[in-house]
Structure 1
Amino acid sequence: MTTLPDRPRTALLVIDVQKGVVAGAPRRDEVIANIRTLIDTARAQGAPVVWVQHSDGELVRGSENWQYVEELVRLDPEPLVHKSYFDSFEDTELESVLAGHGVGRVVVTGAQTDACIRSTLHGAFVRGYDVTLVGDAHTTEDLSEYGAPAPEQVIAHTNLYWSWQSAPGRTAGTVDTAKVTFAGAEAL
């Protein structure tokens, strides 16, 4: 269980599902549909849905590419965290948002697998959170021309290694959308 005392709740993190980030990503529509299912499930179970939005020199704040995809709609009361580093916790208010909601476990979805998703997984875990990666609800662009493995290999490898992650007092794991629950501390 989380090493964060008195934080029994679980939150869904929707990371960087922005037009310019997921354009051309493998399984884009399937991943977005799975994230939409998770958002609906979290809302139905009363779990916080926290949106994270990246900006940098290539993803300019306010631009069309910076906007979230139309298929996913944030409700006004749902927190929106702006970031400029891969780790969603780095130099943002994410930690205080989660603390304010009593969250000790995060369920991670979004893009890009080999950048913001991995960084946030590790950032949450070292900060004491239980961290679940939704294996069929994250994606990445093809960076093979720069020497990276093909996107499907990046996704598969991240799902594999996160399923074996462990540390004292915390849990981690990878599950598919259909197996995610936001109720009960024992759930992955």
Structure 2
Amino acid sequence: MDEHREGLKTALVIINMQQGVMDYCVHPKKVVSRIQDLVSRARDTGTPIYWVQDEREFERHSTPWRLAAGLEPQDDEHRIFKSYRDAFTGTGLHASLIAEDVGRLVICGAQSDYCLRTAAGRAAAMGYDVTVVRDAHTTGAETFEGQSLTGDQIIAHTNAYFATLDYPNQDFSLMRTDEVAFRPVTVDD
């Protein structure tokens, strides 16, 4: 991510990787594995990690509310609980990112077409540089107005949307898990 503006601290934002969501998503094991890799590399560099969980659909601490097996936040990582598709609405996400001096978000997770797309789009509109991890987000099949789409089609469309996102003086990217690099956080950061 060296091509991004200098001096911006990066955060990893993981959206809705909850058991009740993953039950309906395509490629859950692959996506969990890729997110585990991102989390491990973020931890190794001291990159702040934000775990976003939906509480509109799931009661806190219920089985569907819990994160997918293999994903476990550490005590020093941020937990964001939301009631809307938008991870910024009614939560402390933006304030926490400001407090951490974050200007770049690496976003992955579940419900590509809803919560991930909304959070990444909102982050871009708010002035953050955004990287969507193209192979570390997932969703399930949907039917709307008589049109059915597979989870894979929705993921591909979401990736196409972010591949061409453009705002003035901001950087956007669509990367595979293995392309994402976290810069070690220093005391000066």
TM-score (norm 1): 0.90
Deviation at 1:108, TM superposition (A): 0.4
Aligned match of 2:30: 30
**What code does the residue aligned with 2:53 have?**
Q
Q: In structure 1, how many angstroms separate the alpha carbons of the residues matched to 2:30 and 2:178?
A: 13
Deviation at 1:61, TM superposition (A): 2.1
Deviation at 1:91, TM superposition (A): 1.2
Instruction: Report SS of the residue matched to 1:91.
Output: coil
Change (3 A) 1:112 1:151: same
**What code does the residue aligned with 2:16 have?**
D
Q: Output one character per residue of 1:143-169: Cα deviation in whole Å (capped at 9) or x when no partner.
A: 237634211010011112201111101
Q: Output one character per residue of 1:15-70: Cα deviation in whole Å (capped at 9) or x when no partner.
A: 110000111311100000000000001111111111101111x3222211011112
Q: Output one character per residue of 1:48-105: Cα deviation in whole Å (capped at 9) or x when no partner.
A: 111101111x322221101111210100010101101111111110001111111000
Aligned match of 1:13: 13
Instruction: Report SS of the residue matched to 1:144.
Output: strand
Q: In structure 2, how many angstroms separate the alpha carbons of the residues matched to 1:168 and 1:148?
A: 35
Q: In structure 2, how many angstroms separate the alpha carbons of the residues matched to 1:7 and 1:116?
A: 28
Aligned match of 1:128: 127
Is 1:176 aligned with 2:169?
Answer: no
Aligned match of 1:163: 163
Q: Any runs of at least 4 consecutive aligned residues in structure 1 with deviations exceeding 4 A, and if so which?
A: none
Q: Tell me if structure 2 keeps the 8 A contact 1:7–1:99.
A: no
Q: In structure 2, how many angstroms separate the alpha carbons of the residues matched to 1:147 and 1:51?
A: 32
1:111-150 paired onto structure 2 within 5 Å: 111-144=110-143, 147-150=147-150
**What code does the residue aligned with 2:45 have?**
Q
Q: In structure 1, how many angstroms separate the alpha carbons of the residues matched to 2:170 and 2:103?
A: 10
Aligned match of 1:64: 63
**Fraction of identical pairs, as percent:** 36
Q: Output one character per residue of 1:111-156: Cα deviation in whole Å (capped at 9) or x when no partner.
A: 1001000100111001000000000000002223763421101001
Q: In structure 2, how many angstroms separate the alpha carbons of the residues matched to 1:59 and 1:142?
A: 20
Change (3 A) 1:127 1:148: farther
Deviation at 1:7, TM superposition (A): 6.5
**What code does the residue aligned with 2:156 have?**
A
Aligned match of 2:153: 153
**What code does the residue aligned with 1:159 have?**
N
Q: In structure 2, how many angstroms separate the alpha carbons of the residues matched to 1:147 and 1:92?
A: 33
Q: Tell me if structure 2 keeps the 8 A contact 1:7–1:103.
A: no
**What code does the residue aligned with 2:76 have?**
P
Q: Which ranges in structure 1 are unaligned for 5 or more consecutive residues?
A: none
